[in-house]
Amino acid sequence: MNSILTRWRAGPLLGLCTVALAIACGARSTLAAESAVTIPPPAVDEPVTAGHSEVAVLAGGCFWGVQGVFQHVRGVTRAVSGYSGGAKATASYETVSEGNTGHAESVQITYDPHQISYGRLLQIYFSVVHNPTELNRQGPDSGTQYRSAIFPANDVQRHVAQSYIAQLGKAGVFKAPIVTRTDPLKAFYPAEGYHQDFLTLHPDNPYIVYNDLPKVADLKRLFPSYYRDKPVLVSAAR
């Protein structure tokens, strides 16, 4: 772990985590949480096909907030925190947190393309979920495991993602260049159970209050037609 905040995120000892995070947040009071950016929708998007759901895998910092936002997106039927980019043998929180496994903290998003498109998911991802101009970090968390990365499941997703990155770069909507990678989706490994639904289960956790609840509020403000108040939870499907 490479920051005071992230050192205390590991493990299920949430009481101790909350105390430590409260101290850390106070120490970082001069910093602001990531701000949402209003951006245009993608000019290139996937075609709508009939009769099935699709999957997107996105990484944008701590998976607590990424999962928490997409669980509130209308058309998303499941959002699971996990790891992508490395080997199965190293897909555990303590190992990934060392920063040298190739994994990124990621979220696997299952969605209904008749309700929301892959491109629209990417618009939400770039607009409110994270800051795509931060290299190998996101807010208080640093390391390659917190990188901005899209893991396309097929050539269509890859084309949509790369076209959108180029479109946003040309439009100059961000103050710095986009550093988001598009890496082949080799596999996705679900994270430990105590990481699932973390934002919903621990809304008073200072890390969540400071870093992630504002993102859910931004989703509701900037994408009202895609926002739903009741999140779709991993625990509800078990």
Residue 57 · residue 106 · CB < 8 Å:
yes
Task: Give the residue ranges of DSSP H helices in 91-236.
Answer: 93-96, 118-124, 155-171, 198-201, 206-207, 213-222
Dump the DSSP string for 70-88.
HTTBTTEEEEEEEEESS-G
Vertex 149: Cα angle to 144 and 155 (nearest 5): 140
Query: Is 62 one of the annotated active-site residues of the chain?
Result: yes
Q: Which two tokens stand for residue 15?
A: 């009481």
Dump the DSSP string for 92-124.
SHHHHTTS-SS-EEEEEEEE-TTTS-HHHHHHH
| Cβ neighbourhood burial of 165 (10 Å; 0-12, 13-18, 19+) | buried
- List 24, 36, 62, 80, catalytic entry: 62
DSSP code, position 11: S
Residue type present at position 86 = G
Q: Which residues have a catalytic role annotated?
A: 62
